[in-house]
Amino acid sequence: MTDLPPTPPPDSATETGAPTASAALCPLPLEALSANFRKHVDPAAPPPLRMMGAKALVPMGPKELTTALFILTFDADAAIRATAAKSAAGLPDKILSVALRDETLEAPVLGYFASALTQKPEYLEMIVLNGSTSDETVAVIASVAGEKLLDLVAQNQLRILRDSAIARALVQNPATRPSTVDSICDFCVRSGLILEDLAAFKAARRRIHGGGEGDDAAAAAVAAKLHADQKAAEVALTQLGVTGPDSHVDDPPDEVTTDAVVQTRKLSVQQQIMKLTIAKKIEWANKKGNKEVRTILLRDPNKLVQLAVVQSPRMTEPEMVKLSLSRTLPSEVLMYIYNNRQLTKNYSIKVNLVNNPKVPVAVAMRFLSLLRASELKAVAKNKNIPNALATAARNMVEKKQS
């Protein structure tokens, strides 16, 4: 496996081969670390304190340690940068295997370790599987990975549609199996992700839509029309004002805005969204659309589109609280919510998951013991959830009262 390009700009290489960053502006604020540890990464702190952090001599948890080392690779002192990079590359498995699986770890940190650990595919696998890893990092890994890791990247269809660079990396990597290349390209064709520069994509289009080797001109014309139609729909959505902030979405209509006007506008938004391909819907769900668009796309029949909505960085906590009680969401979307440790820190989401009959009993039981007595009483009386869950809640209430 060849080396990944380092996340920060290179200054020098340590004897371990790990990338060492030039003195530059760190993409993470000091607040990424708890207050107790900031003195070991703060540029204003004395060099001996920062060097302690760079040597990994400060007792920290896996997440804090990897974050601190990443921040220190941007230190103004070249010796501290080099030491931090060397420490990062030499961290023991008990630290890395926990940190790289932690979905609360910042994406730039994961990107850095993807560069520092290029010769260790077992850690790259953890990074690829971590939902907090950026699509850009996954694309870089896919460009140089071996067959096993490529198969893993290829399984994440949402990432492929969210960032076409991943599809290109998979197709252009000589280690990718031909059957995997065909599968990826077929999926892209059906989903409306256009990769016109790839011969394998053109071959997939012929397999799916028919035609021979000489039909590329006609196929290109069809692709151009599809692109134009998508562009027109996106322009219309932009003109309808659904790319801005969410603040105005729930505002009551003003005096001159009638219900008929509101409904007509809403219908227009829905009509334009229906014209988008799956790939474009995912782009709008994840990056462009406001709450109005996300609400519409949550009802899309394609589960990948719905997953793109809940994984969007634009999703708000109140939206996630509401979704956690939804009985219409597919199980994959609910699974994303209840397996996300960051989301389940919210008490209202815990309560909603316990009361949602679509959540598996074993999962709901995990949150049941974390509820207050008042919510436990409500769960015990809830006739919409499985009896085993209601009985467990009733037993907990009785135990608390005794």
The CA-CA-CA angle for residues 306, 112, 156, to 5°, reads 25
Q: Is residue 217 part of a domain?
A: no
User: Environment class of residue 200 by beta-carbon count within 10 Å: exposed (0-12), middle (13-18) or buried (19+)?
Assistant: buried
Q: Is residue 322 part of a domain?
A: yes
The answer to whether residues 41 and 33 touch, using CB atoms and an 8 Å cutoff, is: yes
Whether 197 and 285 map to the same domain: the answer is no
Percent of the chain with pLDDT over 90: 67
The answer to whether residues 230 and 277 touch, using CB atoms and an 8 Å cutoff, is: yes
Nearest to 344 by CA among 317, 362, 314: 317
DSSP one-letter string for 340-389: -TTGGGSHHHHHHHHH-TTS-HHHHHHHHTTS-HHHHHHHHH-TTS-HHH
Three-state secondary-structure class, residue 11: strand
- Give the per-residue pLDDT at 261: 63
Q: Is residue 110 part of a domain?
A: yes
Q: Is residue 97 part of a domain?
A: yes
Residue pLDDT tens, the chain, 402 long: 444 544 444 444 444 444 444 556 888 899 989 888 999 999 999 999 999 999 999 999 999 999 999 999 999 999 999 999 999 999 999 999 999 999 999 999 999 999 999 889 999 999 999 999 999 999 999 999 999 999 999 999 999 999 999 999 999 999 999 999 999 999 999 998 988 889 999 888 888 877 666 666 777 777 778 888 889 999 999 998 888 777 544 444 444 456 666 667 777 889 999 999 999 999 999 888 999 999 999 999 999 999 999 999 899 999 999 999 999 888 999 999 999 988 999 999 999 999 999 999 999 999 999 999 999 999 999 999 999 999 999 999 988 887
Angle formed by the axes of helices 373-381 and 387-401, to 10°? 140
Print the domain residue range for 392: 227-401
Residue-wise pLDDT tens digits, 147-158: 999 999 999 999
User: Environment class of residue 7 by beta-carbon count within 10 Å: exposed (0-12), middle (13-18) or buried (19+)?
Assistant: buried
Token readout for 251 is: 């505002």
User: Environment class of residue 57 by beta-carbon count within 10 Å: exposed (0-12), middle (13-18) or buried (19+)?
Assistant: exposed
The Cα-based distances of 56 to 25, 64, 89 in angstroms read: 21, 11, 11
Whether 45 and 115 map to the same domain: the answer is yes
Question: 290-312 burial, b if ≥16 CB within 10 A, otherwise e?
Answer: bbbbbbbbbebeeebbbbbbbbb
Return the DSSP state at 252: P
Domain boundary among 143, 173, 207: 207
Residue 179, φ and ψ in degrees, nearest 5? -65, -35
Q: Is residue 213 part of a domain?
A: no
Whether 29 and 138 map to the same domain: the answer is yes
Separation between Cα atoms, residue 272 and residue 269, nearest integer Å: 5
Whether 339 and 200 map to the same domain: the answer is no
The answer to whether residues 1 and 118 touch, using CB atoms and an 8 Å cutoff, is: yes
Separation between Cα atoms, residue 240 and residue 218, nearest integer Å: 33
Separation between Cα atoms, residue 242 and residue 395, nearest integer Å: 48
Q: What is the average pLDDT score of the chain?
A: 87
Three-state secondary-structure class, residue 399: helix
The maximal CA–CA distance of the chain, rounded, in angstroms, is 81
Whether 251 and 202 map to the same domain: the answer is no
- Give the per-residue pLDDT at 214: 60
Whether 134 and 201 map to the same domain: the answer is yes
Whether 71 and 104 map to the same domain: the answer is yes
Residue 11, φ and ψ in degrees, nearest 5? -115, -50
Q: Is residue 21 part of a domain?
A: yes
Identify the sign of the CA torsion 234, 281, 141, 204.
negative
Identify the sign of the CA torsion 368, 374, 380, 386.
negative
pTM: 0.80
Whether 181 and 232 map to the same domain: the answer is no
The CA-CA-CA angle for residues 119, 20, 69, to 5°, reads 90
- Give the per-residue pLDDT at 206: 82
- Give the per-residue pLDDT at 367: 94
Residue-wise pLDDT tens digits, 78-88: 999 999 999 99
Q: Is residue 121 part of a domain?
A: yes
Q: How many domains does the chain have?
A: 2
- Give the per-residue pLDDT at 137: 96
Whether 120 and 185 map to the same domain: the answer is yes
User: Environment class of residue 402 by beta-carbon count within 10 Å: exposed (0-12), middle (13-18) or buried (19+)?
Assistant: exposed
